[in-house]
Structure 1
Amino acid sequence: MATNLLAEHWNAADVDVLASGEDAGGRVLPSNAWMALRRLGWTTAQAEAVRVNDRIVRMAQEQAGRTLRSVKWRADLAAAVTETWPVEPGKRTPQEWDAVREAIPGGPHLPTSVITSRTRQVVAIQRRHGRLPADVFELERTPHGAQMLLLSACDSQQATIARGEDPGRVLLRLQLPTRPDPRPYQDWTWVACPITLPPTVPRGALLHLPTLRLHHGTVRADPAYTHAVPKARRAGHAVALGVDWGLNTLLSAGAVRRHDDGRISPLGTGGMFRAAGVLAKQHRLRRESEHLHAKTDQYERLIAGADTHPLTGKHTVLADEIRHISARRSNLNDALAWSAARWVVDQGIAAGATVIYVEDLRSLEARGMGRTLNTRLSQAVRGQIVERMRHLAAEAGIAVVTVPARNTSRHCPRCLTPLRHRKAPDRHNAPGWDRFADQRR
């Protein structure tokens, strides 16, 4: 039902209507996606000879509505890129960069990599069809409805959740069909699902209905909860934690204290989060994935769409292996991001910091450092780390501030003397980033 609903309204006109926040009568649309879709008259029906209650339809509408709302920003981004199309897409002039950022909502603060990646998509369509795409719906296919149940769109007649005597366990009760094609309502029955909460859920948190999804053939429940956290301050910070990025030493952090007279003094010697082993494994998986992609591309050229070709079986095996390696890379990046973010927040809590300053490298484009090093720098999960850092720091009442990267490595961090970066101590005229020396030498 969700897939059919997406296919019916996957166009610019309907997405603009939903994003406007008003219906045909000028009334404000509800915040819940399923209620907004019903106000607009966008509904869907189940298959013939299958009986489902209204809550199942709600979940399909909620899933489709969230997807349609999220595509609005990508539609505006694609429209701004095509409207301000540069003379040379690979080399925008400063004036062309200002024009495209001005046309994008929130463009001045948007990472360069986002605009660059969308430009590459447009270039691919232009080479294929000889023209610019009309909108983002020509760049992106209609998405399929994910295999999940958004129980947040239901009420107690479909699902309930309650804690037991053990605060670490809850009981989820929901109505499920007893057969794949339920006919009467008697084919639906209540099923009790005991769930063990992860340790990250506070004991006194208010639980909400979770989202059920399939993960490698197993049903997973993503719990949603609400609990009170300290409010982060916007000003008046006395202790701060500064975080810097590295390659093998992924993160370096040090705490400082600001005194009443304006002096800043360090607190301890700081710490480092070394992830050389994980990054090396990630690099090996990337090279293996590139090798498999090259082989599958060669098989596709040889097969040429013939289902009876002898290489079809090998192509299927390699495609499955690519999906397996992609899942491993995704899980590894996710685990690394959570671990690094947890380490930074723990450093801030231990130092008593009320703010964390982190360098904003979302727009980093590694160039001029060799193919291997450029790739390793580009594969770092900095955006995921910062996003999870904000989430974990909010629970501790710590503010996270991103600092522009420009000129952050220009001066000595101790005496603020201008520095000159060089490749090695004995190569004074070879530029690089491994060593630095006083510019006066």
Structure 2
Amino acid sequence: MTGPGSTAPRQFAVTTRAYMAVDDATGEPIGLDDVDTRVGWLLDLIAAAGAELVSRLWQPATFDVLAAGLDRQDRRLPAQGHVAAARLGWTPLYPDGVYVPSRVTRVVTAQVMATLRTLSYRDTAIAALSARFDPATGVVAPPTEPGDSVPAGFVRGVRRQLIARARRDGGVPAGRLRITEVQGPPQTSAMARLSAADRQLAQITSTERELVLTVKLPTSPTPAGRAQWSRVRLTAAIPEHLDGRPVTDWHLPSLVLDRRGLLWRCAATELAPAADLTAGRVAVGVDWSPTSLGAAATAAQGAEGLSSDYRGWTYDDRGLGIKLARLQAEGQLLHAKAARLTRLAAAAPPEVRAQLEAKIAVLDAHRTAVGVKRGKINRELAFHFSRQVTEYATAAGAQVIAVEDLTTLETRGHGRVNNNRAAQSARRQAVAALAHTAAGAGITVVSVPARGSSALCPGCDEPLSRPGGYHDAWCPRCRVGGNRDHMAGVNLAKRALLGRNKATRRRGQMPAVRVAEHAPVRRCRDKNGPTPSRPRHRRVRRSLPTVPQRMGVNPKHHVPAPQASVWDTVKSRPPRGGAGSRDTRTFQASAILVADSMRST
């Protein structure tokens, strides 16, 4: 049921850490370092069993079964991964003498089935592309059936793999290949997705400010029986930004270990304002910009058709884009240097090889640190961008936010460095953050086709001219123009309004408009968008005499530095518990003190 004031459940993710641990049977406190060790043993068992099961199932028959979606009795495979694996008889093997509860086996098979089901699509695409691949020319013929179409970026990656295989085989045509013949089995991550288990392995309860997780952990790296598995009760604080939010249910988290110890990745269900895509009359189009992360513009639909003021808004990343480009170049340089030292170490004497391997280890550590820093900046940049766009759409009274379809969006024509830089931007992460943030305001995010959005006029659908360069656009027929990213935003908003009744919805994905329809967008001077902020000049009294500057002296003007990071805009809050989240970064001093006291016990 939708309407004014109606709500709908939605899920969101949050991370937190435990600040207290006790034994569930005796109630005695347990040090957090001991908990990290026992969780590490659990993750080692899960990772080893998952790697063994994936390597055993890495054969074409596995993907044939997953593509058919039927078990041995021709019954449809259930959506739950551990149930489907049990029907097919796919169970992991453990070392002799090691006892693992059946609920842990559920976690292993659920994670393996999720990986194999994801790769089933890649297996089908590789088989279709290899059948059209010519090893003599290295060209993949265009598809003959509509179902064989795949994104161009995916085709290039598979083509490189096929060329390398043809070079190893001496250019002999290989015919139709499968994924097991092109690449090796994937690596399994050390993670425990407790959502696949039941109350016998883990259960979670919540209060107003705390989460209590009771989970069964091993007491030794190789448990020999049930007695070496005991329950531990972990207590973590709920992040402060969730205060007052209508959270209705907390789900079992995924457990991982990072440099700070045990990390919970929880999922929760809350009530958010219900959004009706078909009732939208005002839309905001978000265009991904090569200079900044994105730009936005509005379009409205009324009795006289579509209209827009053609005045958009451009996101200011506060210099973080330049920092990301620098870190990307640094990571590529470290990768190239480590690769060169690896080639030198292969033919070096044993003494020199040991020195080179030590240098390679240092380079790899630095490259990992650069990647972690880039991930943090991309995450903060994505959520800061999503908050700015949501505020812009709320001020414009929009019910729909249109973003470009990332599966058809490719960056080319700007040079190798700029193309690579734009391809590695956090666009997909920004879309996920925008969908999450906009849903809290009752706004629907829809994906629309990207082709021609920056090159065609929203009014007459004719190619735009570039009188002022690449970033300028002008239509002499409609006599409208401005920033090309703002013109693209109007086109995207128009496509969302025209195709909102034909949007397709898939489970786990945002609504998508597949066909770009056209209708003229007239220029309107009505107030249908937020007023952009403009700098206000300081009033100066002209009657006061001016002070002459001293010759030969460069006066120092003390000007406050602009905010160079999104973290400068986050206001500090009073600490409470050891919780962090994907929405805000908070420093929890009290939880660290409690954690330090627990580690000493």
**TM tier relative to shorter chain:** 0.7 to 0.9
Give yes or no for the alignment of 1:277 onto 2:319. yes
Secondary structure of the equivalent of 1:206? strand
Structure 2 partner of 1:160: 203
Residue 412 of structure 1: how far off its partner (Å):
5.3
The correspondence for 1:122, drawn from 152, 156, 162, is 162
Aligned to 2:472: 435
Native 8 Å contact 1:148 1:212 kept in 2: yes
Aligned to 1:74, which of 118, 122, 137? 122
Q: Which residue of 2 aligns with 1:45?
A: 93
Tell me if the contact between 2:297 and 2:313 (Cα under 8 Å) persists in the aligned partners.
yes
Alpha-carbon shift at residue 135 of structure 1 (Å)? 1.6
Q: Where do 5+ consecutive residues of structure 2 fail to align?
A: 1-48, 480-601
The number of aligned residues is: 422
RMSD across aligned positions (CA):
2.9
Deviates more, 1:313-322 or 1:399-408: 399-408
| 1:102 is aligned to 2:159 | no
Give yes or no for contact 1:176–1:188 (8 Å, CA) kept in 2. Answer: yes
1:398-413 equivalence runs, <5 A: 398-411=443-456
Please tell me the residue identity of whatever aligns with 1:178.
T
Structure-to-structure mapping, 1:309-328, within 5 angstroms: 309=353, 310-328=355-373
TM-score normalised per structure 1: 0.85
| Letter paired with 2:146 | E
Map of 2:151 onto structure 1:
111
TM-superposed CA distance for 1:223, in Å, is: 0.7
Contact 1:2 1:145 in 2 (8 A): yes
CA distance in 2, matches of 1:300, 1:282: 27
The alignment-based identity, stated in percent, is 34
Shift of 1:436: 4.0
Letter in 1 for 2:214: R
- Structure 1 residues 420 and 324: CA distance shift in structure 2, 3 A: same
Aligned equivalents of 1:184, 1:367: Cα separation in 2? 59
1:137 is matched with 180
**Over residues 85-137 of structure 1, what are the superposed CA-to-partner deviations in whole Å (9 max), with x where a residue is unaligned?**
25887776xxx4343x7353xx3xx5322222222222223223335583212
* Kept in 1: contact 2:410–2:423 (CA 8 A): yes
Give 2:304's match in structure 1, choosing from 233, 251, 261: 261
Amino acid aligned to 2:427: R
> More displaced, 278-287 or 39-48?
39-48
Deviation, 1:188, is 1.9
Alpha carbons 1:418, 1:439 under 8 Å: kept: no
Task: From the superposition, tell whether residues 184 and 374 of structure 1 become closer, same or farther in structure 2 (CA, over 3 Å).
Answer: closer
In structure 1, the partner of 2:22 is none
CA shift digits 1:231-275 (9 cap, x unpaired): 4434232111122222333222233332223252449x5432122
Q: Which amino acid aligns with 2:128?
A: A
**TM-score for both structures, normalised by structure 2:** 0.64
Conserved in 2, the CA contact under 8 Å of 1:89 and 1:119?
A: no
Q: Which residue of 1 aligns with 2:418?
A: 373
Tell me the secondary structure at the aligned position of residue 286 of structure 1: helix
Find the aligned partners of 2:93 and 2:332 in 1 and give their Cα distance: 43
Change (3 A) 1:115 1:233: farther
What are the within-5 Å matches in structure 2 for residues 187-198 of structure 1?
187-198=228-239
Q: Which moved more, 1:368-377 or 1:351-360?
A: 368-377
| Counterpart code for 2:336 | A
1:342-376 per-position Cα deviation (integer Å, ceiling 9, x unaligned): 33233323333111122335444444434443333
2 CA distance for matches of 1:305 and 1:184?
Answer: 49
Tell me the distance in 1 between the aligned counterparts of 2:182 and 2:316: 39
Secondary structure, aligned partner of 2:470: coil
Instruction: Report the more deviating stretch, 393-402 or 292-301.
Output: 393-402
Contact 2:404/2:449 (CA < 8 Å) preserved in 1? yes
* Conserved? CA contact 2:246–2:271, under 8 Å: no
Aligned to 1:225, the other structure's residue is in SS state: strand
Highest Rg: 1 or 2? 2
Partner of 2:29: none
Query: Would you say 1:292 and 2:334 are equivalent positions?
Result: yes
What is the CA–CA distance in structure 2 between the aligned matches of 1:90 and 1:198, rounded to whole Å?
A: 53
Check conservation: 2:217, 2:231, Cα contact below 8 A.
yes
1:347–1:303 Cα change, 3 Å: same
